[in-house]
């Protein structure tokens, strides 16, 4: 049968596989040298980008669930990379921001990460790069739509 499932052609497989391989490659830019989880790295990067925010916002910015954010922040705070300041207006929450050390770390890692991304993408002709970016954006939009309408 022509439409039998072929794993290597199957989009979810391909995406998972690409993501894993890219992560592994990129890992040498941060996890190996700086002992950071993906979640921790996302929190750092997002705080560098947005300034400060509560855990809830960080979760939205990074697309991590609150548990992952909570744990990442705990570890980053222990290491003195992130500061937690209780919010006087709502004692359940705290404002999160980078410490100086956190800023420095992002300043070290970000260029490496961008360089790695560039090394990956520079292998593709500009036209194809744009096609890929557009494809990903469309897929993201499609997922938004599907998730909005629900699984039925």
Partner DNA sequence: CTTTTATCGTTGCATATGCAACGGCCTGGC
Partner DNA sequence: GCCAGGCCGTTGCATATGCAACGATAAAAG
DSSP state of 90: -
Number of residues that bind DNA (CB under 7 A): 26
Which among a copy of itself, DNA, none contacts residue 4 (Cβ within 5 to 8 A by kind)? a copy of itself
The tokens for 140 are 């993201």
Q: Note whether 76 and 82 are within 8 A (CB).
A: yes
**Residue 3 DSSP code:** T
Establish if 126 lies at the interface with a copy of itself (CB under 8 A): no
Task: Give the Å distances, CA to CA, from 106 to 30, 32, 48, 152.
Answer: 10, 15, 7, 42
- Minimum distance of DNA from residue 60's CB (angstroms): 10
Residue 97 near DNA by CB under 7 A: no
Q: One symbol per residue from 17 to 56: x for binding a copy of itself (CB under 8 A), - otherwise; what is it? A: xxxxxxx-xx-x---------x---x--xx-xx-------
DSSP class per residue in 38-69: HHHHHHHHHHHHH-EEEHHHHHHHHT--HHHH
**Is residue 11 near a copy of itself by the rule CB under 8 A?**
yes
Residues making contact with a copy of itself (CB under 8 A): 3-7, 10-23, 25-26, 28, 38, 42, 45-46, 48-49, 61-63, 106, 110, 113-114, 117, 119-121, 123-124, 128, 131-132, 134-136, 138-143, 145-147, 151
């Amino acid at each position: 049968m022509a439409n039998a499932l072929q794993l290597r052609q199957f989009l979810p497989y391909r995406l998972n596989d690409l993501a894993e391989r890219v992560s592994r490659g990129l890992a040498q830019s941060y996890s190996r040298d700086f002992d950071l989880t993906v979640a921790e790295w996302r929190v750092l990067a997002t705080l560098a980008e947005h300034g400060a925010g509560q855990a809830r916002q960080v979760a939205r910015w990074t697309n991590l669930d609150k548990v992952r954010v909570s744990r990442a922040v705990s570890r980053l705070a222990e290491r003195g990379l992130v500061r937690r300041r209780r919010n006087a207006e709502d004692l359940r929450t705290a404002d999160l921001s980078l410490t100086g050390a956190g800023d420095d770390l992002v300043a070290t890692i970000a260029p490496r990460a961008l360089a790695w991304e560039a090394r990956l993408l520079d292998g593709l002709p500009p036209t194809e790069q744009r096609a890929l970016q557009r494809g990903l954006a469309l897929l993201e939009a499609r997922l938004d739509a599907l998730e909005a309408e629900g699984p039925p």
